[in-house]
Amino acid sequence: MRVDVVAVGTELLLGQIVDTNSSWIGEQLAAHGFDSLLQVKVGDNLGRVESAFRRALADADAVIVCGGLGPTHDDLTREAIAAVMGVSLHMRDDIGDRIREMFSARGRYMADNNLRQALVPEGAEVIVQTRGTAPGLICPVRIDGVDKVLYAVPGVPHEMKEMMERAILPDLHRRSGEVAVIASRVLRTWGESESGLNERLDPIIAELEGVGNPTLAFLASGWEGIKVRLTAKAPTTEAANELLDMWAGRVLEVVGTQVFGFDDDTMESVVLQMLRERGLTLGLAESVTGGLVGARLTGIAGASDVLRGGIVSYASEVKFDLLGVPEGPVVSEAAAAAMASGARRALGADVGLALTGVAGPAEQDGMPVGTLCIGIAIGDDVHTAMARLPGQREQMRQMSVITALDFLRRTLATPGA
């Protein structure tokens, strides 16, 4: 069963409000096994709203409309639905009485226009409101001889979610007669371009296109790496997870250590857990990133059992005096190594991680913009790496964070580290 989504409101088009409702509805539809292939936003104009409903219903079995059910002149969803159904609106006295009672119970004056929320298209079923004033609607529609359904819910998120869970999802299951689960597995990668991953995974993609289930998609996320998302549809959660386990294993065989985590993992959460499992503490020395690594790590709850602290050694003199970096170029692998050892010593940590580089706008120490030098000190062992990163200043700094943490991840995963 295909269920598409239309969000109503000019404020959504102007960017004054971010449409998180459609995203949440799409997530719920997927979790309940319904296909949702289109999400549309439309402004507060009766003709355009009606047209958007008709276009969506032409292709979908059901459409969920979010917003436009309030009391003001620009809340036009009811009128548009009535036009699509070919019926008139009528006043439901029971809903009007409930709205009056709600205002009275709160000791608030009720403007007469609130009773617009009691107007219901002929033949529509009301979803009783339990948290606000505007009820939802379940509206049977016949398009080109085919029976379909249009649902309307308020744009207030907590009101919308309650109606979806209580009334709309159960009604969709009843109408579809299907029981299916759609589940996804996301493999988080770092270190290769989207095109490079695509090329390496071409044989697996060809196999998946042949069997049709699960599907594979790439999601680029800037300086968070490339996500490889597998999506499976099956009668049960267990069956969907079996499919995902098998094909995720196939992807791992190809991509290998470039996969640093799954689903909601982040590079910082993975690195913290690796250190935690090894009983190691971490100290930071940051130059080019100016504390960004520490900020990312401390954004994870419980980081204090691993992270000892960080030194933002932005000035060269701090590198020399506090971290023991020898006089000379401060953007070099040798300087990064000395910074890592200095951070480990000064902060009393088991592991020191250091970053120095050139974010721009001009080169430094003969190194071009985009140069990153990383140092890791674990006991008496010191590891270094150099990377050339693309982008403008802020992009380079953000990419430096995940690049350095990935180098630490790989170092920790090396036997004997």
181-262 folds as Alpha-Beta Plaits (3.30.70)
Confidence of residue 380 (pLDDT cuts 50, 70, 90): confident
Percent of the chain's residues with pLDDT above 90: 78
- Directed axis angle between helix 237-255 and helix 202-211, to 10°? 160
Residue closest to 351 by CA, chosen among 407, 290, 292, 287: 407
pTM beyond 0.85, yes or no: no
All structural domains of the chain with their residue ranges: 3-176, 181-262, 274-413
Using the predicted structure, report yes or no on whether residue 159 has a pLDDT greater than 80.
Answer: yes
Predicted local confidence at residue 53, as pLDDT: 98
Contact residues for 2 (Cβ-Cβ < 8 A; gap 6+): 34, 35, 36, 37, 59, 60, 61, 62
Q: Return the ∠ at Cα 327 (arms to 321 and 328), rounded to 5°.
A: 135
pLDDT tens digits for 270-326? 999 999 999 999 999 999 999 999 999 999 999 999 999 999 999 999 999 999 999
pLDDT of residue 110: 87
Is the domain 274-413 a CATH 3.90.950.20 member?
Answer: yes
Rounded to an integer, what is the distance from CA 339 to the centroid of its chain?
A: 35
pLDDT at 417: 64
Interval 230-258: pLDDT, tens: 999 888 889 999 999 999 999 999 999 99
SS3 of residue 141 by DSSP? strand
Judge: domain 3-176, CATH 3.40.980.10. yes
**pLDDT tens digits for 21-63?**
999 999 899 878 888 999 999 999 999 999 999 999 999 999 9
